[in-house]
């Protein structure tokens, strides 16, 4: 379940190239029996898994980036196979959020986005560039390891600006 307050993966990723995970491709390839419905929802719900994993419902009045993030989130729930985790609900939710953010924002994509925007001062622009919602970006940034931070700094320092010509 994802609420509004809302990786590594072999699919769609090529070593060395920033190719973020595509949940719609994952759905077609690995979950062909799962039906996705887009519908109006009350409250702050963005999506949920229903019918014992047969249906994923996504909220209708959301952006493509939000639906992309929510679909990823629900697919991670399906992969983990823990649809009812009782008292561990909060822990499971935070693990699923973390995994979805890793998948959707590989470090290489983050480097590319920051370079393209000339910095990371504008989270909304960064999220838009990465085609994710702001919560997914916030989760990704808050869970970066110190090794990733070092790599990020190094990549940003090393790489010449995209527009440079020789
Ligand atoms: Zn959830």
Which tens digit of pLDDT belongs to each residue from 78-113? Answer: 999 988 778 888 999 999 999 999 999 999 999 999
Determine the distance separating the centroid of ligand 1 and the alpha carbon of 161, expressed in angstroms.
Answer: 39
Ligand 1 centroid to Cα of residue 93, in Å, is: 5
**Ligand 1 mean position, distance from CA 56 (Å):** 11
Question: Which residues of the chain have a pLDDT value below 50?
Answer: 6-18
C-alpha closest to that of 21 among 108, 135, 139, 125 = 108
The predicted model scores a pTM of 0.83
Say if residues 47 and 56 touch (Cβ distance below 8 Å): yes
Helix (H, G, I), strand (E, B) or coil at 106: coil
What pLDDT score was predicted for residue 156? Answer: 87
For residue 12, the model assigns a pLDDT of: 46
Q: Say what the pLDDT of residue 83 is.
A: 80
Alpha helices in the chain (DSSP H): 23-30, 64-80, 89-104, 107-117, 123-130, 134-142, 146-158
Ligand 1 mean position, distance from CA 90 (Å)? 9
Using CB atoms within 10 Å of the CB of residue 58, give its burial: 0 to 12 exposed, 13 to 18 middle, 19+ buried. Answer: buried
Contact 7, 102 (CB under 8 A): yes
What is the 150 CA–ligand 1 centroid distance (Å)? 31
* Residue 99, helix vs strand vs coil: helix
């Amino acid at each position: 379940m994802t609420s509004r307050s809302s990786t590594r993966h072999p699919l769609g990723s090529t070593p060395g190239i920033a190719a973020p995970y595509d949940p719609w491709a994952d759905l077609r390839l690995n979950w062909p029996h799962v039906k996705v419905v887009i519908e109006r929802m009350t409250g702050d719900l963005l999506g949920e898994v229903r019918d014992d994993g047969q249906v994923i419902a996504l909220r209708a009045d959301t952006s493509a980036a939000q639906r992309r993030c929510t679909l990823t989130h629900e697919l991670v729930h399906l992969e983990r196979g823990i649809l009812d985790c009782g008292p561990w609900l909060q822990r499971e939710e935070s693990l699923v959020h973390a995994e979805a953010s890793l998948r959707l924002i590989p470090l290489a994509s983050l480097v590319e986005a920051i370079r393209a925007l000339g910095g990371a001062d504008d989270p909304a622009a960064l999220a838009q560039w990465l085609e994710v919602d702001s919560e997914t970006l916030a989760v990704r940034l808050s869970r970066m390891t110190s090794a990733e931070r070092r790599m990020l700094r190094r990549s940003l320092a090393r790489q010449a600006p995209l527009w440079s010509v020789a």
